Structure 1
Amino acid sequence: MSGAALTLPQVRWLGTARLTAGLDRHQRLDLAAHTRVHPPLAPLDRDALLTLADAVDLRGRGGAGFPFARKARATLATADRTGAPPVIVVNGTEGEPPSAKDKMLLARVPHLVLDGACLAAAAFGAEEIVIGVGAGGPGEISVPAALDERDLPCSTRTVCLPERFVSGESGALIRGVNGLPVLPAPLKARAADGGTGGVRRRPTLLSNAETWAQLAIAARLGRDGYAEVGTAAEPGTILLTVNRPGADPLVAEVPAGTPLGPVLDAFGLAPGEGVLVGGYHGAWLPPLDAVGAPLSRAGLAGLGATLGAGAIVPLPSDTCPVGEIARVAAWLAAESAGQCGPCRRGLPDAAEALAALAAGGAPPTAVEDARRALGAAQGGGACSHPDGTARFVLTALDVFAQDVDAHLSGPGCGRAVRGALPLPRAEGVRLEVDWSRCDGHGLCAVLAPDLIRLGPHGYPASSTIPVAAWQEHDARRAVNQCPALALHIQP
Structure 2
Amino acid sequence: MIPYRVSQIRRLGPARLTAGLDQHRRLDLDAHRAIHGELGTESVDTLISMAEDVDLRGRGGAAFPFARKLRAVAARAGDSETVVLVNGAEGEPASVKDKMLLTRAPHLVLEGALLAAGALNARQVVVAVPSGDVAEASMTAAVAERGAEDSVRVAAIPERFISGEGGALVKAVNGQAGIPPGRKARSSDSGVDGLPTLLSNTETFAQLAVLGELGAEVYGSVGTVQEPGTTLLTVGGSAVFPAVVEVTPGVPLASVLDLCEAAVGDGVLVGGYHGAWLSAAEAYGAIVSRRGISQAGGSLGAGIVVPLGGETCPLGETLRVANYLAAQSSGQCGPCRLGLPDLARAVAELSGGSSHGIELVRRAASAVRGRGACFHPDGSSRFVMSALEAFADDVEEHRIHGTCGRPVLEMLPLPASESPEAKLVVDWTRCQAHGLCAHVAPELVKLDQHGFPVVEEGGVPPWLRAEARRAVEMCPALALRFPPTPA
Confirm whether residue 357 of structure 1 aligns to residue 350 of structure 2: yes
1:29-40 equivalence runs, <5 A: 29-40=27-38
Q: Which residue of 2 aligns with 1:138?
A: 134
2: distance between equivalents of 1:26 and 1:427? 34
Q: 1:88 to 1:479 in 2, by over 3 A?
A: farther
Confirm whether residue 323 of structure 1 aligns to residue 316 of structure 2: yes
1: distance between equivalents of 2:445 and 2:194? 42
> Could you tell me which amino acid in structure 1 is paired with residue 49 of structure 2?
T
Q: Which residue of 1 aligns with 2:59?
A: 61
Equivalent residues of 1:87, 1:127 under 8 A apart = yes
1:415-454 equivalence runs, <5 A: 415-427=406-418, 439=436
Equivalent residues of 1:45, 1:123 under 8 A apart = yes
2: distance between equivalents of 1:432 and 1:174? 39
3-state DSSP class of the match of 1:159? strand
RMSD: 2.9
Q: 1:428 to 1:351 in 2, by over 3 A?
A: closer
Q: Which residue of 2 aligns with 1:377?
A: 368
Match 1:121 to one of 75, 99, 117: 117
1: distance between equivalents of 2:268 and 2:88? 26
Equivalent residues of 1:127, 1:155 under 8 A apart = yes
Match 2:185 to one of 189, 196, 206: 189
3-state DSSP class of the match of 1:193? coil
Confirm whether residue 301 of structure 1 aligns to residue 294 of structure 2: yes
Q: Deviations over 1:238-283 (max 9, x none)?
A: 0000104386731010001211011111121232211111111111
Equivalent residues of 1:103, 1:137 under 8 A apart = no
Q: Which residue of 2 aligns with 1:104?
A: 100
Q: Deviations over 1:123-181 (max 9, x none)?
A: 10111111011123221110010001115496221111222111111111111101111
Confirm whether residue 180 of structure 1 aligns to residue 176 of structure 2: yes
Confirm whether residue 410 of structure 1 aligns to residue 401 of structure 2: yes
Equivalent residues of 2:444, 2:468 under 8 A apart = no
Q: Which residue of 1 aligns with 2:381?
A: 390
2: distance between equivalents of 1:134 and 1:248? 26
1: distance between equivalents of 2:261 and 2:472? 53
> Could you tell me which amino acid in structure 1 is paired with residue 143 of structure 2?
L
2: distance between equivalents of 1:200 and 1:147? 21
Confirm whether residue 51 of structure 1 aligns to residue 42 of structure 2: no
3-state DSSP class of the match of 1:206? strand
3-state DSSP class of the match of 1:299? helix
Q: Which residue of 2 aligns with 1:467?
A: 462
2: distance between equivalents of 1:58 and 1:481? 57
Q: 1:438 to 1:61 in 2, by over 3 A?
A: same
Q: CA deviation at 1:308?
A: 0.6
Q: Which residue of 1 aligns with 2:20?
A: 22
Q: Which residue of 2 aligns with 1:155?
A: 151
1: distance between equivalents of 2:184 and 2:454? 35
Q: 1:476 to 1:182 in 2, by over 3 A?
A: farther
Confirm whether residue 278 of structure 1 aligns to residue 271 of structure 2: yes
Q: Which residue of 1 aligns with 2:450?
A: none
Confirm whether residue 256 of structure 1 aligns to residue 263 of structure 2: no
1: distance between equivalents of 2:239 and 2:251? 25
Confirm whether residue 291 of structure 1 aligns to residue 284 of structure 2: yes
3-state DSSP class of the match of 1:19? coil
Q: Which residue of 2 aligns with 1:215?
A: 208
Q: CA deviation at 1:442?
A: 7.6
Q: CA deviation at 1:475?
A: 6.3
Q: Which residue of 2 aligns with 1:448?
A: none
Equivalent residues of 2:241, 2:261 under 8 A apart = no
Q: CA deviation at 1:487?
A: 10
2: distance between equivalents of 1:375 and 1:350? 10
Equivalent residues of 1:133, 1:140 under 8 A apart = yes
Q: CA deviation at 1:187?
A: 2.4
2: distance between equivalents of 1:151 and 1:49? 25
**TM-score of the superposed pair, with normalisation by structure 1:** 0.88
2: distance between equivalents of 1:426 and 1:187? 29
Q: 1:153 to 1:163 in 2, by over 3 A?
A: closer
> Could you tell me which amino acid in structure 1 is paired with residue 270 of structure 2?
V
Q: Which residue of 1 aligns with 2:330?
A: 337
Q: Deviations over 1:19-59 (max 9, x none)?
A: 00001111110000000001221210110011111111111
> Could you tell me which amino acid in structure 2 is paired with residue 293 of structure 1?
A
1: distance between equivalents of 2:124 and 2:60? 21
* Structure 2 unmatched runs, 5+: 448-452
Q: 1:148 to 1:248 in 2, by over 3 A?
A: farther
Tell me whether 336-345 or 276-285 shows the greater mean CA deviation.
336-345
> Could you tell me which amino acid in structure 2 is paired with residue 150 of structure 1?
R
> Could you tell me which amino acid in structure 1 is paired with residue 62 of structure 2?
A
Q: Which residue of 2 aligns with 1:238?
A: 231
Q: 1:444 to 1:24 in 2, by over 3 A?
A: closer
Equivalent residues of 1:113, 1:210 under 8 A apart = yes
**TM-score of the superposed pair, with normalisation by structure 2:** 0.89
Q: 1:479 to 1:270 in 2, by over 3 A?
A: closer
* Structure 1 unmatched runs, 5+: 446-450
Confirm whether residue 95 of structure 1 aligns to residue 91 of structure 2: yes
Q: CA deviation at 1:351?
A: 0.7
Q: CA deviation at 1:337?
A: 1.2
Q: CA deviation at 1:419?
A: 1.0
1: distance between equivalents of 2:74 and 2:473? 55
Equivalent residues of 2:437, 2:445 under 8 A apart = no
> Could you tell me which amino acid in structure 1 is paired with residue 326 of structure 2?
A
Percent identity of equivalent pairs = 49
1:4-15 equivalence runs, <5 A: 5-15=3-13
2: distance between equivalents of 1:45 and 1:414? 62
Match 1:165 to one of 143, 161, 165: 161
